[in-house]
Amino acid sequence: MARKSNLPLLLVSYLLGPALVRSCSPLPLVINTWPFKNATEAAWRTLASGGSPLDAVESGCALCEKEQCDGTVGFGGSPDEFGETTLDAMIMDGTTMDVGAVGALRRIKSAIGVARKVLEYTTHTLLVGESATKFAESMGFITEDLSTDASRALHSDWLARNCQPNYWRDVIPDASKYCGPYKPKPHSILKQEDPTYKEKDHCGHDTIGMVVIHKTGHTAAGTSTNGIKFKIPGRVGDSPLPGSGAYADDTAGAAAATGDGDVLMRFLPSYQAVEYMRQGEDPTIACRKVILRIQKYFPNFFGAVICANVTGNYALGLSFPSLTFCVTISAFQSISRSTTAGSH
């Protein structure tokens, strides 16, 4: 039956348990990492007005880019070592397995929009850096400075703190005390050091990852982020990598990840979650198993995965139970009479 606008929806933004929780089943379903409700709602409205799952993911992530969700998506956030903000984004069609993505995109605000153009107008999957900017311009996007007073202030504070924190290790001068430029430490004195950057701010948001399941069961997923603060220029995280930042496959489900991208991307967590669901695991277990696999190697990594199967059940898996109090997901879902909306 034609459901109108956004009325029959359930908006749940909850604090979920360690490896998660819940679900009612009805489709369509829109979920995204973090309490970025406006993004969830934008995606929902797109579906309600007849848009495809891909359109919904694009409009949801685009809204976050515009609202600069928590400074971690879109322009004006996460300056790199040179003070520049660059963007990563990806969009995936779980029906056709088409993907478009951009990494380290410069001077273009709408990363998810450019990713969509990569999907639609090329047979490539991922474009990066200055060349991705040229591609975007050819698609009609305008170039603008992505810096803001806020990002300039973040960067100058960082310089004033001797470039702390940063992501270098085993270099001279000692990266835990000084700014670069750095050179490799001679082998004679080489010992594995941890990078100076210990991510303490686990409640800090990063990256929107979104999953949409259409009422027909068609799936799409996507991400958008400005990466991590004070990254080494050129660093691209997990977000624009299919299978890592997000993955969708109509025959199994869809997933998206958030957290320490440099670790996450080594495990293709979104792909892995979808594969677990394909093997019959429910979303809760799929999410949890993905986190456990990573924790075997990186017990202290920070991350979360959202998993949804094609019948609209979904879950959130977290690397630490303590994250329960800060990691949330935002979800819109049709309410069916048989479910107990709000009891989760």
Ligand X SMILES: *[C@@H]1O[C@H](CO)[C@@H](O)[C@H](O)[C@H]1NC(C)=O
Residues in contact with 313: Cβ distance below 8 Å, sequence separation at least 6, in sequence order: 22, 23, 25, 282, 283
Least Å distance between CB 230 and ligand X? Answer: 24
- Catalytic residue, chosen from 33, 72, 95, 207, is 207
Give CB contacts under 8 A, 24+ apart, made by 261-267. Answer: 261/207, 261/227, 261/228, 261/237, 262/235, 262/237, 262/238, 263/294, 263/298, 263/301, 263/303, 264/237, 264/238, 264/294, 264/301, 264/303, 265/237, 265/238, 265/241, 267/293, 267/294
* HEC letters along 262-315: HHHCCCCHHHHHHHHHHCCCCHHHHHHHHHHHHHHHCCCCCEEEEEEECCCCEE
One residue of 14, 52, 55, 67 binding ligand X per CB under 6 A: 67
Query: Between residues 92 and 307, which has the closer beta carbon with respect to ligand X?
Result: 307
Total residues at the site for ligand X (CB under 6 A)? 8
From the CB of 313, what's the least distance to ligand X, in Å?
4
Query: Please, which residue, 101 or 327, has the CB nearer to ligand X?
Result: 327
- Residue number with CB closer to ligand X (147 or 313): 313
Q: Which of 295, 311, 336, 339 binds ligand X (CB under 6 A)?
A: 311
Told to judge if 133 belongs to the known catalytic residues of this protein, a careful annotator would answer no
Sketch the per residue contact string, 271 through 310, with ligand X: x for CB under 6 A, - otherwise.
-----------xx-------------------------xx
Looking at the Cβ atoms of 110 and 309, the one nearer to ligand X is 309
What is the contact mask toward ligand X in residues 24 to 43, using x (rule: CB under 6 A)?
--------------x-----
Does 313 bind ligand X (CB under 6 A)? Our answer is yes
Q: Are 32 and 60 in contact (CB under 8 A)?
A: yes
Binding residues for ligand X, rule: CB under 6 A, are 38, 67, 282-283, 309-311, 313
